[in-house]
Amino acid sequence: MLDQAEKLRQLVNNKDRSVNSPKIITVTSGKGGVGKSNFVVNLAITLQKMGKKVLILDADIGMGNDDVLMGVMPRYSIYDIIFNNKIIEEVLIKGPFGVKLLPAGTAITNLEGITEGQIERFIKNLSTLEELDYIIMDTGAGVNRSVLGFIACSEELIILTTPEPTAITDAYSLLKAVSHFNIKQKAKLVVNKTIDQEDGKITYNKFKNAVNRFLRIDLEYLGSIQEDRKAIQAVRRQIPFILAYPSCDASRDIINIAKNILGNVKSYNDNVSIEGFFKKLFSIFS
């Protein structure tokens, strides 16, 4: 793990910058079942509706379900671009309002034997992508090598939790690892499945007090999403709730969170190019 941590620190300090580069956000959680993928899909669509071009990288290895929530069925993944000579247009899935989905499959964390030629071919494939404003990575949950690797490669980290004590404890454990290995100095928190807005603020304040006391992480509050029957119904219909019920409580909350994200955008000159981002991923996992 120490070797891995050193790699992560080097990547954080070695930024590959490009003028017209997307903002790369990792969304993760300390445990499963907190609604992470549902959050990612609805956030991406909301940002797209606000005029931004968004790509979702489904990096929840072996457990990704962004496609299910969007009501689409992927045939291929990044694995097929690298090892089966598919082009990126064959793998990318176009979702609601033009949101793009790129399934990672198991390729990113199983790169033993990958050649320089395969890496270069994949990077060249990326050049055919139209300009993007955001790449949102939906990772697996918990503290593991792949999650920490994705966090290290991204510009921004969003932690999703619920008010439940187990979810909060696991989210803290994840941030503790991020702080211990000096991967990030900042993170943002979203509290999902709250009773009301006050419930979200109370959860954040408790969490932030612990973080401030014990970790070297500057934690910011992005907002909360209320527990909403309409959102549950939308999942069962395989329609994102922002589309199925645009006026429901959950939709109102996701819109506010998207506005907060847009309000916090740095100059694009500070962002990592998409080619640079994937080069970092390959250097970690190969």
At 61, give phi and psi (nearest 5°).
Answer: -60, 120
The mean per-residue pLDDT over the stretch 86-96 comes to: 89
Position 175 pLDDT exceeds 90:
yes
- Contacts within 8 Å (CB) and 24+ apart, 246-253: 250/42, 250/225, 250/226, 251/42, 253/223, 253/224, 253/225, 253/226
CATH code (residue 197): 3.40.50.300
pLDDT-derived band of residue 123, with 50, 70 and 90 as boundaries? confident
Q: Write down the pLDDT at residue 45.
A: 97
Q: Write down the pLDDT at residue 118.
A: 83
Least confident segment among 57-71, 126-140, 211-225? 57-71
Q: Write down the pLDDT at residue 267.
A: 44
pLDDT-derived band of residue 15, with 50, 70 and 90 as boundaries? very low
Helix (H) or strand (E) holding 136: strand 134-139
- Note down the domain range covering 241: 2-285
**Which residues, in sequence order, are CB contacts of 53 under 8 Å at separation 6+?**
98, 130, 131, 132, 133, 134
Residue 119 CA to its chain's centroid (Å): 23
Position 226 pLDDT exceeds 80:
yes
Does this model's pTM top 0.75? My answer is yes
The mean per-residue pLDDT over the stretch 182-206 comes to: 97
Task: Looking at 86-190, list the stretches that DSSP marks H as alpha helix, in order from N- to C-terminal side.
Answer: 88-91, 116-126, 145-153, 165-180
Position 168 pLDDT exceeds 80:
yes
pLDDT in tens, 125-144: 877 777 899 999 998 888 88
Q: Write down the pLDDT at residue 127.
A: 75
Q: Write down the pLDDT at residue 61.
A: 59
Domain count, the chain: 1
